[in-house]
Structure 1
Amino acid sequence: MLITETETETYVYYHDGGIPGRRRVLTGATAKQTFNAVPKIDMRRIYSESLSDRQSLAKEVGAACRDVGFFYAVNHGVDEALLDDTFAAIKQFFDLPEEVKMEVHNQKTEKYRGYEAFLEGKLDPGTRGDLKEGFLMGEDATDPEQNTPITPSTAKPRNQWPTHPSTTFFRPALYRYYTAMLSFSRRLLRIFALALDLPETHFDPITTTPMTNIRAVHYPPQSRDEDVGIGAHTDFCWFTLVCQSPTAHPALEVLNGNGHWIPVPFHPSSFVVNIADFLKLVTGGTWASTVHRVRNMGGEERYSMPFFFSPNEEARVSVLEGFRREGERYEEFGVGEYFQRRLEVDRTTHLDKEGEGVVRRPYI
């Protein structure tokens, strides 16, 4: 959202690390050198047995992470038919009656897993809410599909799955996508390590049971310019992979250093990858957790399937040695605690219970 502060200065407002921020819009002589497009990187080398191939890929990835914070992962190798099937499944789910979806409303779980209805999120306080509906699932040792050992801290179910007979297709479809994206993410994490001049396996010890999420999202066409699909924000994970449905008009936008919104249109056989808060923090701000938003102004239904990857919930991380400044102290922070705090900032639905039903209160 743009708000004019004076006759000569305009600012963009957003959430960065869960904290409200702003950036001045620079034009003409005041503009600085920044990106005007999201780079495309051919990912076929991620599967190469040659270390030099993976290192050359890491060099490109590292430059994109420093200069932009976003890149297209082109030729990612994940089966396109699987992606098409997943999009068909999430569209079928969102087309279901609201009462079927509301069985698994996200406010029923501590981790906010399940269904989020239209306008329940509100990252930009200047709007009436995020014009989207979504479904969130993630790491859950009690889901047998994940084949993860159950410990005292993971014995409580985290995911919610609908039980209505019309929804039986949904869970298997999301798990096929989850498995493919987790496998690709582990490969990508090693490329990130190389890009940071670390051994490929450097992050393996803190990602044995990573925090992971799929957030299936449906954005209807926007009819009002003041609306937003999701407000301007940064992601609170290690990195995000976004698979977006093809639309003629780009809806995803990223904010460059001059405060200008840069479109990120659909590109075939690609994921949109963005660096999130944890990688920004451990690189001392050298890698960019870039502000982004969605405005679906093209008159089409849009679907998106971001996959979020983070370290283990119990992991503690700090600024990497190679990014520390002499004489400064660097504290560790707990991954799970930070993640939960951000969840509570971003999921602001208010609910009243009436009898056996759930009634949503409008935003004030």
Structure 2
Amino acid sequence: MIETPPTPYVHYHDGGIPGRRPILKGASAKPTFTSVPKIDMQRVYSPSLSDRQALAAEVGAACRDVGFFYAVNHGVDEDLLDGTFDAVKRYFALEKDVKMECHNQKTEKFRGYEGFLEGKLDPGTRGDLKEGFLMGEDFTDPEQNLTPLPHLPNTSKPRNQWPSHPSAAFFRPAIYAYYNAMLSFSRRLLQIFALALDLPEDYFDAITTHPMTNVRAVHYPPQTSPSDVGIGAHTDFCWFTLVCQSRTSFPALEVLNANGIWIPVHHEPHTFIVNIADFLKLVTGGRWASTVHRVRNYPGDSKEEGKGEERYSMPFFFSPNEDAKVSVLPHLREEGKTYEEFVVGEYFQKRLEVDRTTHLKKGEGRRRVY
């Protein structure tokens, strides 16, 4: 008797919950995407509603079928993006002590520097082979021009950390130039998402008056082992993410299709990568995909194997207000079903707890936040 071999699975975190997906090939494979679509975003700036609606139709199809797309001709200044990449590379080249001054375990929002292997989204690895710096909405940073909100906790206290050493003085202005440009584009994109859902353009404006936002600057060193991972397989916990990634010869970002196959997302000049995240999946009742993705900065079995490259990435995360309550949109609800409502900030903090597991030794600044 011939035994049927066990079905192989891909493991990941979806909405903060461990999950797995069978790898399907041949006759058992499902119809699914095999590449990430490219969408020309010039129409986001058009004064014509019909132009924006046509763009929204393309965006909506990508959100349903893939959950990722390339935003081509996004309109953000290329010199600004180049300058930000230069600053990010300079920051990660600084002395470790300069970076560790702002270690992320010192803040409730996990803002600041994260060292190599301190995150571990995939329990089957030794940790995420990356270092990063996270900043976000902060009512005390003058660059954001925000007024503290009495009804929200800690908006009168700093949330971000910034290095104080003179060698890092260039970093904060560069990151804020990028932050403000991405925030402006994100607000336009959110209106396109509203149109794609057959809603008025300004439908989400009321719950994004003071959105939760983050820039995460990330440095991935070359991987020398196929068992390593830059960041483990996961979904994002926000409305959506915009990713600007540096040029590398081999794709490092990969997205998971319905057959459990990893699809490479190559660097494309003058584009952002947009991916739908958990909150948009939630409000669409699962009609839009919050697609599992990972980073492996490894050249694989190519002729150039072993010739790894430094990779840098600057994802921008955009979410509703911290105190916003979200649930499935009324016109997408099924009759007779009950739908749970989530407070955005509470959900966000729980996901931080799950995703930011560290390997710090006791006494080195570990901090657990409830």
1:94 match: 92
Residue in 1 that maps onto 2:27: 29
Partner of 1:3: none
Displacement, 1:151? 2.3
Contact 1:142 1:157 in 2 (8 A): yes
Runs of 4+ aligned residues of structure 1 deviating over 2 Å after TM superposition are: 350-354
Distance in structure 1 (CA, Å) of the matches to 2:32 and 2:359: 40
* TM-score (norm. length: structure 1): 0.95
SS in structure 1 at match of 2:201: coil
**Structural mapping, 1:275-354, within 5 Å:** 275-298=276-299, 299-352=308-361
Alignment size in residue pairs: 352
Tell me the distance in 2 between the aligned counterparts of 1:303 and 1:212.
20
SS at 1:65 equivalent: helix
CA contact (8 A) 1:107 1:349 kept: no
CA deviation after TM superposition for structure 1 residue 156, in Å: 1.3
Q: For 2:362 and 2:79, how far apart are their aligned partners in 1?
A: 41
Measured in 1, the distance between the counterparts of 2:198 and 2:32 equals 24
Matches within 5 A, 1:79-90: 79-90=77-88
- Percent identity, aligned pairs only, is 77
- Residues 176-213 of structure 1 show CA distances to partners (whole Å, capped at 9, x for unaligned) of 00000000000000000000000000000000000000
Q: Give the 3-state SS of the residue equivalent to 1:124 in structure 2.
A: coil
- Say if 1:282 and 1:318, in contact at 8 Å, map to a contact too: yes
For the residue of structure 2 that corresponds to 1:33, the secondary structure is coil
SS of the residue 1:104 aligns to? coil
Gaps of 5+ in 2: 300-307
In the alignment, which residue of structure 1 is the partner of 2:263? Answer: 262
Matches within 5 A, 1:1-364: 7-152=5-150, 153=153, 154-298=155-299, 299-352=308-361, 358=364
**Equivalent residue of 1:244, what SS?**
coil
Q: Provide the C-alpha distance between the structure 2 equivalents of 1:94 and 1:231, rounded to a whole number of angstroms.
A: 21
Cα offset, 1:352, TM superposition: 4.7
Tell me the secondary structure at the aligned position of residue 214 of structure 1: strand
**2:314 is paired with a residue of what secondary structure?**
strand
Q: CA deviation at 1:349?
A: 1.6
C-alpha distance in 2 between matches for 1:306 and 1:359: 26
The whole-number CA distance in structure 2 between the counterparts of 1:255 and 1:62 is 19
Quick check: 1:252–1:293 contact (8 Å CA) kept in 2?
A: yes
Counterpart amino acid of residue 75 in structure 1? N
Match of 1:72, SS state, is strand
Q: Cα offset for 1:331?
A: 1.8
Structure 1 unpaired stretches of 5+: 1-5
**Which is richer in strand?**
1
Please give the secondary structure, in 2, of the residue aligned with 1:171: helix
| 1:323-346 Cα shifts (integer Å, max 9, x gaps) | 111100112110000000000111
DSSP 3-state at the match of 1:240: strand
Partner SS, residue 162 of structure 1: coil
Which sits farther off after the overlay, 283-292 or 345-354?
345-354
Q: How far off is 1:353 after superposition?
A: 6.6
Q: Distance in 1 between matches of 2:248 and 2:51?
A: 33
In 1, distance between residues paired with 2:168 and 2:209? 31
C-alpha RMSD of matched pairs (Å): 1.1
SS at match of 2:206: helix
3-state SS, counterpart of residue 147 of structure 2: coil
Aligned partners of 1:312, 1:209: CA distance in 2, in Å? 5
Report the residue type matching 2:195 in the other structure: L
Give the CA deviation at 1:351.
3.7
Q: For each residue in 1:124-156, what CA deviation from the matched residue of structure 2 results, as whole angstroms up to 9, or x when unmatched?
A: 000000000000000000000000011233111
Distance 2:359 2:265 in 1: 32
Quick one: distance in 2 between partners of 1:131 and 1:7? 32
TM-score by length of 2: 0.94
Does the Cα contact within 8 Å between 2:105 and 2:365 map onto a contact in 1? Answer: no
The 2-side partners of 1:126 and 1:253 are apart by 18
Answer whether contact 2:130 2:221 (CA < 8 A) is retained.
yes
Deviations 1:78-131 (A, max 9, x none): 000000000000000000111110000000000000000000000000000000
- Deviation, 1:350, is 4.7
User: SS where residue 99 of structure 1 aligns?
Assistant: helix
Whole-angstrom distance in 2 between the partners of 1:328 and 1:100 = 53
CA distance in 2, matches of 1:180, 1:236: 21
Q: 2:56·2:192 contact (CA, 8 Å) conserved in 1?
A: yes
Q: SS of the counterpart of 1:293?
A: strand
- State the secondary structure of the residue aligned to 2:212: strand
